[in-house]
Structure 1
Amino acid sequence: MEKMQKGKKDIKSTIVLVIALFVFIYALVRLCLIFWEYTKGQKSYDRLEEFTNTVEAEDSSDVVPEDFSVDFEALKKINPDIVGWIRFENMDISYPVVHGTDNEYYLTHTFDKQEIKCGSIFVEAENAADFSDDNTFIYGHNMKDKSMFAKLNQFKDEQIYRENPEFLIYTEDAVYRYNIFSCYVADVSWDSFTYQFGSEESYGEWLQNVKEKSNYDTGITPTQEQKTVTLMTCTPDGENYRFLVHGTLVEVIERKTE
């Protein structure tokens, strides 16, 4: 009887060990796949330096402290869907921006159309590609290695905002400077995600609404005559929440031509 009980215990122990081994192998494979995806994404975006150039300005009083340029001609040969380049001057966010026919493709495809989970920084498909709408949405993943738009979540901290109060969008024709006026975690059911408005008045009401939702007072209140861009990424706060950074257009610098 004791031998039978011992045998049963041995069998149970063996089953538990086998299950544990399978769980370990599964977790290891998953980690390897995640690592491989991040490595592929990093290799793809490591190419970006080929298409940009930064030269210290001779006059430190220049409006733009650095002369940052983008080779859109070369980029568009790789992908004609590229419509701009977004950049934070003091933060590691500097990426090409694409505009597709839907909001699915670039969730899993990079700027050079490789199928990689990090995807791209992309404009809402129903927005105009030239950032001319009252409010243009730009999406990016919250990657665990802090790439793409992951660092936007840092704007929960007012000090980060104080150090990075603006962002720039470069296009073939001009550079657009946006002052950040509101940052917060938003429920996906809120009207914060509106990008089409029936009138100037409704747009003005929306601006006031999203301004009031900000985690802190930026001291900036856009008028309904000003265009805005909303940057969006996922947040650890929950599946039905996103982190939003709203910027208002304050300056358009025409691109220099030879």
Structure 2
Amino acid sequence: MGANTKRADAKRTVGILICAVICLISAAEWGKTRMQAAREADTVAQLAELTRKTQDFPGDKDRITKKMDQAENEENAANEEIRGQKLAAQKADHESRDYARLAEKNSDFEGWIWIPGTAVDLPVMNDPQDPQKYLRKDFWGKTSLGGSLFLAEGCTMDSDCLLIYGHNMRNGAMFGSLGRYRKREYWQQHRWIEIYMPKEQREYEVFAVFQTTVPELASATETDAADLKNGFPYYRYAGNFDQGEFQAFVGEICRRACYDTGIVPEFGEQILLLSTCSYHAKDGRLVVAAKSAAVCATSEQ
């Protein structure tokens, strides 16, 4: 009886020790992830600061930000107005920056993407010789869990179809907030996308949001019909295409859209795709599709 009790106590002690070790490992991993996320946020903030010509933001952004913070703690009708003021100040801030400074620091810098009212406010990178370079690297080339936003292989900022990849981070960083576009109400409040480049700035309008899968293809010669049966190989359209390909591409996007926005791109308008992982299915992807709306040259720096 005593021996059995001792064995039971020993097993219980071992079990407790194993649980404790697992908890410690989990806590360490959680802490590591949090620290990495903080470092990535600091890097983006430092890059934004590098582009600013002065320490003062146009439109008295600090004052408006403080008002916004106060309003968020008060449930009143003025919140939406103050939110609009804050977004206007942020837009003026972005338009006043000198993005050529980032290109001078790293020639792989292509532009800065901002979706007003969201966490997407980040640099976009591209190394044509190594398209996957920034999958797990930050602007400076340092190892990063969230990596950077980067262009798809075979396309440039001037391609007919501009495809930008980004990780779906659980903390909402990178493209971690794009999943909210599944709801029409979110699209209505965040339908515009801004991209700032050293010599010009562009505005895009979101026209569709869709989910699909990207299974591995047996060969590059598989037919489109076979591809579409298993998923939508939207990434194949990154680059340039003719009018027929454009119409087929846009038609397939609209057919697969989560909801109808009533917006249909016309041939000649650039298509912008923001792609990230989706966990609705194995090899799932979520894509936000937008069309070019306006392009203007930046003022002389």
What band does the TM-score fall into relative to the shorter chain? 0.7 to 0.9
Where in structure 2 are there 5+ consecutive unaligned residues? 61-86, 215-230
C-alpha offsets along residues 151-170 of structure 1, whole Å, 9 cap, x if unaligned? 11111111111111111111
Contact 2:213 2:281 in 1 (8 A): no
Contact 1:180 1:248 in 2 (8 A): yes
CA distance in 2, matches of 1:113, 1:197: 29
Match of 2:15 in 1: 16
> What SS does the aligned partner of 1:39 have?
helix
Contact 1:85 1:94 in 2 (8 A): yes
CA distance in 2, matches of 1:118, 1:70: 25
> What SS does the aligned partner of 2:96 have?
strand
- Aligned mate of 2:198, from 172, 175, 187: 172
Match of 1:193 in 2: 235
CA distance in 1, matches of 2:186, 2:141: 32
Query: For residue 18 of structure 1, what is the amino acid of its counterpart?
Result: L
> What SS does the aligned partner of 1:246 have?
strand
2:98 maps to 1:71: yes
2:236 maps to 1:237: no
Task: Report the RMSD for the aligned CA atoms in angstroms.
Answer: 2.2
Match of 1:32 in 2: 31
CA distance in 2, matches of 1:126, 1:23: 44
C-alpha offsets along residues 9-45 of structure 1, whole Å, 9 cap, x if unaligned? 1222122122222212221221122122112212212
- Aligned mate of 1:210, from 239, 243, 253: 253
Question: Comparing 132-141 with 65-74, which one deviates more in the overlay?
Answer: 65-74
- Aligned mate of 2:145, from 104, 117, 132: 117
2:110 maps to 1:83: yes
> What SS does the aligned partner of 1:150 have?
coil
Contact 2:202 2:294 in 1 (8 A): yes
Change (3 A) 1:6 1:157: same
- Aligned mate of 1:140, from 128, 146, 166: 166
Match of 2:208 in 1: 182
> What SS does the aligned partner of 2:117 have?
coil
C-alpha offsets along residues 72-105 of structure 1, whole Å, 9 cap, x if unaligned? 2321232110011111233332111111233432
Contact 1:81 1:98 in 2 (8 A): yes
CA distance in 2, matches of 1:192, 1:76: 29
CA distance in 2, matches of 1:80, 1:32: 33
Query: For residue 185 of structure 2, what is the amino acid of its counterpart?
Result: Q
Contact 2:51 2:102 in 1 (8 A): no
2:93 maps to 1:94: no
Q: Which has the higher strand share?
A: 1
Contact 1:79 1:113 in 2 (8 A): no
Question: Comparing 203-212 with 48-57, which one deviates more in the overlay?
Answer: 48-57
Hey, which bits of structure 1, 4+ residues long, moved more than 6 A? none
C-alpha offsets along residues 114-168 of structure 1, whole Å, 9 cap, x if unaligned? 211111111113212xx22121110111222212111111111111111111111
Change (3 A) 1:196 1:253: closer
Contact 1:207 1:224 in 2 (8 A): no
CA distance in 1, matches of 2:134, 2:167: 10
CA distance in 1, matches of 2:241, 2:202: 25
Query: For residue 220 of structure 1, what is the amino acid of its counterpart?
Result: I
Query: For residue 144 of structure 1, what is the amino acid of its counterpart?
Result: R
How far the C-alpha of 1:56 sits from its partner, in A, is: 4.0
Question: How many equivalent pairs are there?
Answer: 249
How far the C-alpha of 1:197 sits from its partner, in A, is: 5.8
CA distance in 2, matches of 1:168, 1:36: 29
Change (3 A) 1:110 1:255: same
Q: TM-score, normalised on structure 2?
A: 0.76
Query: For residue 230 of structure 1, what is the amino acid of its counterpart?
Result: L
Q: Which has the higher helix share?
A: 2
Q: TM-score, normalised on structure 1?
A: 0.88
> What SS does the aligned partner of 2:262 have?
coil
2:83 maps to 1:55: no
CA distance in 1, matches of 2:12, 2:119: 51
CA distance in 2, matches of 1:234, 1:211: 20
Question: Comparing 172-181 with 197-206, which one deviates more in the overlay?
Answer: 197-206
Query: For residue 3 of structure 1, what is the amino acid of its counterpart?
Result: G
Q: Among all aligned residue pairs of Structure 1 and Structure 2, give the percentage whose two residues are the same amino acid.
A: 20
